[in-house]
Amino acid sequence: MVVTKLNRIDEIFKQLRATKRSALMPYLMAGYPDIEASLSLLISVAEAGADLIEFGIPYSDPLADGPTIQAASEVALTTGVNTDIAFDLVKKAREKIETPIAVMTYYNAIYRYGLERFAGNAAESGVDGVICPDLPPEEASPWSEAAAQYGLANIMFAAPTSTNERLKKIAHMSRGFIYCVSLTGVTGARTNLPSNLTDFIGRVRKVTDKPLAVGFGISQPEQAKQVADIADGVIIGSALVSLIGADRETCTDAAAAYISKIREAMDS
């Protein structure tokens, strides 16, 4: 079954580009802090102004992630969440929200589940794209093809260490947007943006006009604003996850409030 309708991710970037705004792209994790709450969070964060949500499927060996997301993954896995449940959460969220959703997980979760099956079930649940941090272009073709077959965007990573050659290859292959890693390192909130970020984004811009989203390390409204000025999307991961982990009772409201504040700063 080939899905032909325009992908929600392409749609949103088209809209934002038209209004010269940047996308706010928070990261949530299936099963964190528990399964139900992660569904409420999807909805409340969307309603608070998220343009796209990255929805992580927790993994036992998250080697691109820093301590915050590692710890969250461990907690989430104890809830019994798995790929099927994660897809189911998206399906349920789709009853309320139309915000694009990109699932984020490690390649083994896709490989073991079965490439076609993963793509098919994801697409059917209302997932729009997949982000896989340990799948560089050299190894991405089988998955890219399976994803394309189901109208899923396979979103690829660009890093400051990528040569221009590699950036071209990545840009060419990536769908939806390009995930630009702000720094050499793992996920995790940091207090300052790397000084060479503008140069790096400039380098990527030179090889593509696909949307560029920047992630890794962004936590403060001012940082989001600065990134919004040079990129098409601002990814907020660990900062939001740690806020959610701080108080489970109030996390839905707190997350919404935090996203509104970032939204405000970005649009200011």
Partner 1 sequence: MQHVLPDERGHYGEFGGKFVPETLMTALEELEAAYARYKDDPKFKTELEFYQRTYIGRPTLLYFAEQLTKHYGKAKIYLKREDLCHGGAHKINNTIGQALLAKRMGKKRIIAETGAGQHGVASATAAALFEFECQVYMGEEDTRRQSLNVFRMNLLGTEVIPVTSGTRTLKDAMNEAIRDWVTNVETTHYMIGSVAGPHPYPMMVRDFQRIIGDETREQMLKIEGRMPDYIIACVGGGSNAMGIFYPFVGTGVKLIGIEPAGYGLDTGRHGAPLTKGDKGVLHGSLSYLLQDEYGQILPAHSISAGLDYPGVGPEHSYFKDNGLAEYSSITDKEALAAFQLLSKKEGILPALESAHAVAYLEKMIDKTSKDDIIVINLSGRGDKDVQVVADALGVRL
Closer residue to partner 1 in complex, CB, 61/199: 61
State the residues that interact with partner 1 by CB under 8 A. 59-67, 70-71, 74, 77, 82-83, 106-113, 133-136, 138-139, 156-163, 166, 170, 181, 184-186
Residue closer to partner 1 (CB basis): 111 or 208: 111
Catalytic: 65? yes
Q: How far is the CB of 142 from partner 1 (least distance, A)?
A: 10
Cβ 141 to partner 1 shortest distance, Å: 11
Helix boundaries (H) for the chain: 8-19, 35-47, 67-78, 83-93, 107-113, 115-125, 137-149, 164-173, 197-207, 221-230, 238-246, 251-267
Q: Which of 54, 124, 165, 253 is catalytic?
A: 54
Helix pair angle (251-267, 35-47), 10° resolution: 30
Least distance to partner 1, CB of residue 213, Å: 14
d(CA 92, CA 75): 22
Which is catalytic among the residues 11, 34, 47, 65?
A: 65
Structure tokens at 106: 């490690």
Cβ pair 215, 23 in contact under 8 A: no
Q: Which is nearer to partner 1, 82 or 208 (CB)?
A: 82
Nearest to 266 by CA among 214, 228, 209, 231: 228
Has 95 been annotated as catalytic?
Answer: no
Whose Cβ is closer to partner 1: residue 142's or residue 202's? 142
Looking at the annotation, which residues are catalytic? 54, 65
